Amino acid sequence: MSPVRPPLPPLPPLSPRAFASFDEAHGGAIAAASAGLSTVQAASSVSSADGLTHAPDTGSDRIGSYVFPGIGVIEPAPEGTKPGTVYLVGGGPGSVELLTLKAVQCLSSADVVLLDHLAPQDIASFAPNTQIIEVGKNPGKHVVPQSHIQQLILALALSGKTVVRLKGGDPFVFGRGAEELDACTAAGIECHVVPGVSSAIAVPAAASIPVTMRKVSHMFTVLSGHSALNDADLDALAATLRAGGTGVLLMGVRTLGSTVAGLLARGLDDYTPMATIERGYSEDQRVTVTVLGAAERDCAQVQAPAITVFGEVVRYARDDQQRLLAEVSDYVKDHS
Ligand code: SAH
């Protein structure tokens, strides 16, 4: 007989989100919006907080024009006009074929698309009459900081436009989607989230690596390696792998050396399989299959964007990768 569970304690009351932790530049809008001011007043506080130029006050509580560096002037909608709607859309890992039908629908009805660098880029045919603004972080291209992107979303929506923010993967997986949703909600702008195919699952699949597999791996842990993993992260990743699970590391190229060293220092086997998949679903996708003990040699050339998968599931990659895995195992044997 299964043990009787004790009743769950009551949930604490929900508290409003901690806007204070937001980007400083955004505090004004959120504070104003949460204080119950009108949408326009809220947005007007945004403009003054971030060093963005905005035209002199119109005399009413309506916002003036915004001037975004590299983008131009955004005029406010005529008084009494309903603000536009914002769609935070997951664009999948980069191939247009992995856009959802809903994403395509949103693109076709948008006035403006704010395009992330990891989202599919060749979307013009889905959005023929749409202004497309690249806000991604491609090296050498104009970079729009996140605080400006949020203001841009608000300013465009307040100017009456239907805005699509097209993000790589899923907006809620390391995508800052929740922040943008909060900013819209706080400013009284209707905002919808459209999930996307997350690279955390889809990019391993591009190398035929399943993140779970019956009798091999029954769980997976997804981590950000944007900053070097701390002890608690490494303990959690090591515990996942020891329990037979899969580790999936995003944004982890720069810190890969310290991740691998941290796992080895926690007693993980040299032969633990791992794979990096660079530029998944692009023509120059590259898959490197190796083991922890040979990662330093094999992953030296890996470049972002890439995903690293750790665990036994890597053995179920395609045949040519099986061969690679056998080779690296020999390397580790010779070097340990
Ligand atoms: N929201 C996104 C993740 C954003 S974080 C999602 O759900 O997929 C950005 C990281 O995602 C990159 O640094 C990289 O680790 C990973 N990534 C996204 N697209 C990728 C691709 N096509 N190939 C390899 N890695 C990718």
Note if 137 is an active site residue: yes
pLDDT of residue 138: 54
Q: Is the CB of residue 93 below 6 angstroms from any atom belonging to ligand 1? A: yes
pLDDT of residue 10: 63
When pLDDT is averaged across residues 64-84 and rounded to a whole number, the result is: 72
Give the predicted TM-score (pTM) of the model. Answer: 0.80
Pair of tokens at residue 176: 């800052």
Q: Is the CB of residue 225 below 6 angstroms from any atom belonging to ligand 1? A: no
pLDDT of residue 139: 47
Instruction: Confirm if 152 and 71 have CB atoms less than 8 A apart.
Output: yes
When pLDDT is averaged across residues 167-182 and rounded to a whole number, the result is: 96
Q: Give the chain's mean pLDDT.
A: 82
pLDDT of residue 37: 27
Of 222, 230, 282, 209, whose CA–CA distance to 251 is shortest?
222
Separation of 327 CA from ligand 1 center, angstroms? Answer: 28
When pLDDT is averaged across residues 303-312 and rounded to a whole number, the result is: 97
When pLDDT is averaged across residues 216-245 and rounded to a whole number, the result is: 98
Comparison of pLDDT for 144 and 277, the residue scoring more: 277
pLDDT of residue 69: 61
Residue 321 banded pLDDT, cuts 50, 70, 90: low
Helix (H, G, I), strand (E, B) or coil at 182: helix
**pLDDT tops 80 at residue 91:** yes
Note if 116 is an active site residue: yes
**pLDDT tops 60 at residue 232:** yes
Separation of 306 CA from ligand 1 center, angstroms? Answer: 7
pLDDT of residue 20: 28
Residue 241 banded pLDDT, cuts 50, 70, 90: very high
**pLDDT tops 60 at residue 52:** no
**pLDDT tops 60 at residue 36:** no
**pLDDT tops 90 at residue 7:** no
Q: Is the CB of residue 174 below 6 angstroms from any atom belonging to ligand 1? A: yes
For ligand 1, what atom is nearest to the CA of residue 170? 7
List the beta bridge partners of residue 310: 247, 274
List the beta bridge partners of residue 286: 278
* Tokens 């949408």 found at: 39
Comparison of pLDDT for 191 and 13, the residue scoring more: 191
Q: Is the CB of residue 280 below 6 angstroms from any atom belonging to ligand 1? A: yes
* pLDDT tens, residue by residue, 133-152: 998 765 455 667 888 899 99
Instruction: Confirm if 165 and 88 have CB atoms less than 8 A apart.
Output: yes
* pLDDT tens, residue by residue, 208-219: 999 999 999 999
Within 13 Å of residue 155, how many CA atoms lie on the same side as its CB? 28
**pLDDT tops 70 at residue 67:** no
**pLDDT tops 70 at residue 234:** yes
Instruction: Confirm if 148 and 68 have CB atoms less than 8 A apart.
Output: yes
Separation of 200 CA from ligand 1 center, angstroms? Answer: 7
pLDDT of residue 35: 31
Residue 128 banded pLDDT, cuts 50, 70, 90: very high
Take atom 5 of ligand 1 and give the residue whose Cα is closest: 174
pLDDT of residue 8: 64
Three-state SS letters, 236-294 = HHHHHHHCCCEEEEECCCCCHHHHHHHHHHCCCCCCCEEEEEECCCCCCCEEEEEEHHH
For ligand 1, what atom is nearest to the CA of residue 282? 22
Of 266, 270, 288, whose CA–CA distance to 331 is shortest?
270
Q: Is the CB of residue 293 below 6 angstroms from any atom belonging to ligand 1? A: no
Separation of 321 CA from ligand 1 center, angstroms? Answer: 22
Comparison of pLDDT for 29 and 6, the residue scoring more: 6
Instruction: Confirm if 120 and 96 have CB atoms less than 8 A apart.
Output: yes
Comparison of pLDDT for 310 and 72, the residue scoring more: 310
Q: Which H/E stretch holds residue 217?
A: none
pLDDT of residue 148: 85
Backbone angles phi, psi at 324, to 5 degrees: -60, -40
Take atom 24 of ligand 1 and give the residue whose Cα is closest: 306
Q: How far apart are the first and last CA of the chain?
A: 50
